[in-house]
Amino acid sequence: MPWCATCARFLSPSTVHADGSCPTCGGAVDPERGRARALRRAPWHLKLLLAVFALYLLYRLGQGVAWLVD
């Protein structure tokens, strides 16, 4: 995803001019910066939250199965 440093925003690839300039300010567009930012890994606390949520759902599933068996 292209990034314009002057405007400090991401641009749609179809809006960038053919010469690689920003349609708003006319400045140079960096096509790689947005891609590197988009490919960043998820933070560790998000992974921890998802793991705890999965354990909670497994616990509640066990409670539901126990309720149905009784």
The one-character DSSP state at 30 is E
List beta partners, residue 21. Answer: 28
Residue type, 45: H
pLDDT over 70 for what percent of the chain? 89
pLDDT over 90 for what percent of the chain? 37
- β-pairing verdict for 9-10 and 3-4: antiparallel
Same structural domain for residues 1 and 35?
A: yes
Residue 68 belongs to domain spanning: 42-70
- Total domain count, the chain: 2
Same structural domain for residues 1 and 24?
A: yes
Same structural domain for residues 35 and 2?
A: yes
Same structural domain for residues 3 and 21?
A: yes
Give the other-Cβ count within 10 Å of 22's Cβ.
20
Q: What is the pTM of this model?
A: 0.46
